[in-house]
Every structure is written in structure tokens, then in C-alpha cells.
Amino acid sequence: MRVSAFSKVELADCLKKQGLCIRVGSFSVKIHSSMSVVVDGIFALYSDYALADDDYADFHIEINPPRNARRWYRPQVDFYFDGYRPFKPLPQDQAFALFEWSFNWCIASNCHTHLILHAAVIEKNGNAVIMPAPPGSGKSTLTAGLVSKGWRLFSDELAMLSLDNETVCALPRPVSLKNDSIEIMGAYAPGSILGPIAFDTSKGTVAHMKAPSESVARALEPAIPRWVIFPKYQSNQQAVLAPMKQAQAFMHLAENAFNYQVLRQAAFEKLGEVIDQCQVYQFTYNNLDDALEIFDGLD
Amino acid sequence: MSFNHKNHQLISAVIQNPASTAGFSKADWDILIRQARRANILGMLFYFLREKKIKQAVPAFAFRHFQAQANLDENYRDAVKLECQRVSDILASINTPLVVLKGAAYVVADLPVSHGRLFSDIDILVPKSGIAEVEQILKLHGWLAGQIDAYDDKYYRQWMHEIPPLHQIKRGTSMDVHHAILPETAVLKPDSALLLQAAVPVSGYENIHVLAPVDMVLHSMTHLFHEGEFDHGIRDLIDLDGLLKYYAERDTDFWPCLLARAKTLDLSVPLFYGLRYLKRLLNSPVPGHVMAESEEIIGGRKKIMDILFDRALLPDHKSCDDWFTPVARWCLYVRSHHLRMPAYLLIPHLLRKAYMKRVAKNRSPDDKI
């Protein structure tokens, strides 16, 4: 059974009372929330996800107003990780975005069975492209564009490299779009579905785009990393895919890892393997059509 | 066979009877992982399950959470050992032996309880007479106190058993430098000189020492039952359970020595509490006569303390709580303050802290109080 089996009222009831337990990639997550923004977001963006066994969840996430006056006065929202509140509250209209960020945090700070890079991952024919990049480089926009045209979405934030084998694991979730890219994707992929919009976040205006149904259905199929591509959006520049030095790429990947510091030797060896098995490029582009053509031509 | 237990006894069921995990339902694993994550013992449980040769029996969906934390262990241990070695070299230059306490001590001494155990700072013990010199030489090597106002600084130096916490400016490591294991103002007064005298060198190192086995156990108990924070209560009990089993197996005189040493160090009360709650919560193998002898010290307060400690020592997770748990934690918090300082010092201190917290909101960060 999928989340789509619920009406919005049933979904709201479930989130408020027993909690909604869903399967996302190889994880199960139980979500509690009484907030309508969260219900809206999950109803719009998580309809394809399978319901998980209610008895067990890898992560228990609660998104609710604080238990004080800030529930009403200039309303705020809190993230509770199984009863523990790791962060300060945010304005209430950011509740759904907070859920997405919280979920990322749960994985990045707990799943040390994998080396986790801050990078987008997409796949075609069993081969994966890892795209690490700082915020503002257009990584999520590029990911959203490519997955709307046939690439399979693994993640737009977390590259999960297994320490036990040479694969990268899929964690298909809504793609986070910021500022101008919300409108750009609306025009580029008119059928795409957007969740609630959060204004004035630390990253500007944020909205999440629904992951393609096929990516969600195939979430348990891993892939082999074949390319590491550092994307950079530059409005005045034609699309260029330029080879990059392996050593330089290694350093950039290490800087972009969430748990390199704590895994140390295992992380060092893993990154070495990834760099060895991948072609490494820097990619500058100024429109999605050119990017699609170049990515489709990767060999 | 189904195993009967309540949620609040899950961790203790694993420790007492590891084979019982074979009867765990999915819901049991869910609760166990959540409690263990909160108590920061997922990695410790991994090694425990491995040592008992039952890790293959743990279902994969649960096992990966234990594995994930255990993956941090090897590098964490290396980092702790390296940092201790550096501090040891620094202290050697002023002819001061390094005595490491608690978690870092378990790591450098390679005790079984150190596996998978994560902690946030290194604790060391130095003679009070030499503390100024130690602080000075550490400062030269980049160990500085963080931002601390004059009042807090004075509070540490005048009343506490340690100087303000130090941080290594390059590596960000934290270290607490103690000259005693309880505050100067505490009711109990264990003599640090005795602890330092009995400290044992760690093989493989030139200048690194840890407390003698009995002292290590007594220190851990004192810390647990006299500091009012129980975030890691169950972890500390598991440490103690492991230490007692390890040492009692290796030294037939361990138990009588422990009782005698507790008297010498004025720590019979924490020893009593330690043994009692190890027995009650983890069913640790404390010999009956040791328990009886230890009990003679304490009067009729047992019932009340049971009501409080039975709750506060469990993981701070809602699956372990009943309505009285928050009250129990609060009572023990108050008790710990009472044990730390006499009221004539404590009350002005708390009032001043409360006042400073209020005014701090209206000050710019670089104002000095």
C-alpha cells in the first residue's frame, strides 16, 4: 500500500495520531506532525512511497509547534528527533522544508555504514553520476532538469557510498529548488509537482519538487559510480565539460563529505576507490538543454 | 519462545541475557535502538553482541545501526590515544606524570569496556600543587580555556575540583584538568594524593598512567552518583558492569580491596549506590557478602533512593519514563547540588547565575562582567 491510498483527511489524521511510517530507499521513517503545511507537502510529494511496517522505523521524526507561546505568537516550528530537539525552531511556514532538512540530518549524522557526500546523484543504465557542489552552483536545478528527462534520481543532497561494496545507494526524495530555479523548473518541466513554498529561509525561497515515480519505485536498485562531475552554473558561458585532475577532485570530495572526519581511514580508502573508478570533470553550463545533451552523451 | 519484558528493561535484558535478543520482535528492536541511541551506547552494544557471538542473530535492519556507530570506533580510539600521547609529552617536559581518567583511560588501557564507547572530552588528574604549572605549559601548547567570565573562572578555581575546561586551538579537542574527583566544597573528601600514588603506568607508554582498578571503579561510581546528570546513566552502569566483571575475574582479592579502599577514600556511600543499582538494573555479579557489607554503611534511605535512581538511571527516552520520572530526575539534580556545595555557598551562586543569565540577554557579547 502506498501513501496515495490515503485521502488528505486520513493522511492528516494518521500524521497527527499514530504517525505515518513510510519506506524511503532502504530506510523506514515514522513522521508525526499536526501541521497542515507538513500534511500538504507529504500529500503532494510522497504519494508514491510505500507504507512501512508500523512496528519499526529507522528514524522517528516529529515536526510540531514549540510547547510554549511561540505556538501562537509569531508561530514557530520545531524538529524533534525521537523526542530530542537538536536545533532551534524555525518560522512555521518552513515546516515542510524543515522536515526535509531534518530527514537529511538524521541520515548524515547516523548512517556511518556509508561514506556520505554532500552531492546529487543520478543514474542511467546502472551507471551513476555524482555531482558534488557548494550551494548556489545549480546542482539541484541541474538534477531536477535531468531527472525530468529520463535520468533516475538517487538524491539531490546525499551521495551514499557503501563501505562494503562499490555501489552508491539510492535515496530518492523530493528535490529542493531555491529562488529562481523554482520558476525555471516550472517552465522546463511543466508537469512537475511542487510542494509548499517556504519564504525567507536561510537559503532564500525554497520549494521541493516531487521525485519521479519510477525513481521511487526502483529505490532499492543501487548503481556503480562512473562519473564525478562538479557542476557550476555560469550565465555567460556555453556548456563545457572539462577533465579535472584526480587529486583535486579527491580533495573536493573529502571537503564535501559529512562523515569523512569520523570515518577517516575507511573514508580515505573509499574516496580513493571512487576516484579510481570514475571519470572526473568540471562542468559549466548556462541552460538545461545543453546540459541534457552533454549528460546523455556521457560514455 | 517469546521473551517477556517491558520496554524499560530492554537494555538490561540484552546485557544480562544476550541470547534473549533471539526472541525480540521488530518493535523491541525499534525501542532498543532508540534507547541506545539516546544513551549513546549503540557502538558499545555492537561490541557486546559481537563478544557474546550473537551478532549474526541480529536482524539486518537493526544491525546496521549498531554497525554504523561501531564504524567510528577504530579511528576514535586512535585519535584519543594520539591526543593522550601529545598531552603526556607536554607534561613529561615538566616531569609530571599524566594520569588519565574515565573514558580516555579505558581507551589507553585497552579495557574491553572502551570498545564503541564515545565521549566528548579527555579527563586528567594532576596534583593540586602543580596545577598552575600544568595549566601554563598546556597553554604554551595551544590548550586554552574558552570564553569564560570572571565569576565562572573564580567559581571553578575556588570551589571546583577542576580548572575551567581547556580546548586545543588547532584540533578542537576538549580536556578537563582535575586536581580531585569531587569539588572542594563536597561533603565527601577523597584524598587525591592517594589516587595519584596508586595510579598504574599503562604498558606501551612512557608517561601515561590510569587509576588503580579499585580506584577506577570508585571514581566511576562517584561520578555517576554525585554529579546530578544522568544522560549517560545507563552507559556508566554498563561501564561499571564491564569493569567489575573484568577485574573480579583477574584478581581474587578485588572485592575485599574495593570495600577497604572505599573506606580509605571516604567513598563508601557511592560504592554502596553503585553496587546496589548495578545489581538492581543490570543484575551484575556482586557477591552477596560484599553487598551486605557495603549496605551496613547506609541507613534506612534505601526505599526512597530506589524510587529515584531506578528511574533516573534508565535512558532518557520516553519509552522508559513514567509520570514520576521527571520528578525523580529533578530530585536527584537538587541532591547533587546539595552534595556538591553547602547551602550558604550554593544559594548565592544559583541566584547570581540566574541573574547573569537574565542580564546576559541585554549585553553585547564582549562586555565583561
Q: Do A110 and B65 touch (CB under 8 A)?
A: yes
Asked if A164 is an interface residue toward chain B (Cβ–Cβ < 8 A), one would say no
Position A129 confidence tier, pLDDT thresholds 50, 70, 90: very high
Of B26, B30, B71, Cβ closest to residue A266 = B71
Is the CB of residue A107 less than 8 Å from the CB of residue A118?
no
Asked whether residue B42 is assigned to any structural domain, the reply reads yes
Note whether B310 and B185 are same-domain residues.
no
Question: Which residues does chain B have within 8 Å of residue A268's beta carbon, measured at their own beta carbons?
Answer: none
List residues in chain B touching A: CB distance below 8 A. 25-27, 29-30, 34, 37-38, 61-62, 64-65, 67-69, 71-72, 74-76, 78, 317-318
Question: Which CATH number among 2.40.50.140, 3.30.420.40, 1.20.1070.10, 3.90.228.20 corresponds to the domain A114-173+211-296?
Answer: 3.90.228.20
Q: Is B115 helix (H, G, I), strand (E, B) or coil?
A: coil
DSSP-derived letter for residue A172 is -
Note whether B104 and B49 are same-domain residues.
no
Asked if A237 is an interface residue toward chain B (Cβ–Cβ < 8 A), one would say no
Give me the pLDDT at residue B368, please: 38
At B176, phi and psi to the nearest 5?
-105, 125
Note whether B79 and B56 are same-domain residues.
no
Asked if A80 is an interface residue toward chain B (Cβ–Cβ < 8 A), one would say no
Number of C-beta neighbours around residue A50 at 10 A:
15
Last residue of a domain, one of B211, B244, B261: B211
Of B30, B65, B74, Cβ closest to residue A55 = B30
B28: distance to nearest CA of chain A, Å?
A: 8
The Cα B301–Cα B293 span in angstroms is 16
Position A202 confidence tier, pLDDT thresholds 50, 70, 90: confident
Q: Do A113 and B26 touch (CB under 8 A)?
A: no
Taking CA–CA distances from A268, the nearest residue in chain B reads: B75
Strand A27-33, strand A59-64: pairing: parallel
Note whether B226 and B359 are same-domain residues.
yes
Last residue of a domain, one of B22, B37, B71: B71
Q: Among A134-138, A161-165, B118-122, where is mean pLDDT lowest? A: A134-138
Number of C-beta neighbours around residue B147 at 10 A:
9
What are the boundaries of each domain within chain A?
A: 3-110, 114-173+211-296
The rounded mean pLDDT for chain A is 94
CB–CB contacts below 8 A, A to B: 50
Of B27, B67, B71, Cβ closest to residue A263 = B71
Q: Among A71-85, A119-133, A263-277, where is mean pLDDT lowest? A: A71-85
Q: Do A262 and B75 touch (CB under 8 A)?
A: yes
Cell 546523484 sits at which residue? Answer: A121
Of B61, B62, B68, Cβ closest to residue A110 = B68
Q: Do A112 and B68 touch (CB under 8 A)?
A: yes
B117: containing domain: 72-211
Note whether B110 and B227 are same-domain residues.
no
Asked whether residue B1 is assigned to any structural domain, the reply reads no
Taking CA–CA distances from B34, the nearest residue in chain A reads: A82
Q: Which residues of chain B have pLDDT under 70?
A: 1-5, 299-301, 360-369
Number of C-beta neighbours around residue B56 at 10 A:
8
Is the CB of residue B46 less than 8 Å from the CB of residue B116?
yes
Nearest Cα residue to B68 out of A29, A85, A104, A58: A58
Asked whether residue B2 is assigned to any structural domain, the reply reads no
Q: Is A75 helix (H, G, I), strand (E, B) or coil?
A: coil
**What's the rounded mean pLDDT across residues A246-270?**
93
Edge-to-edge strands, sheet with A20-24: A20-24, A27-33, A59-64, A76-81, A90-91
pLDDT surpassing 70 at residue A101: yes
The Cα A141–Cα A131 span in angstroms is 12
Give me the pLDDT at residue B167, please: 95
Count of structural domains, chain B: 3
Instruction: Report yes or no for ipTM above 0.90.
Output: yes
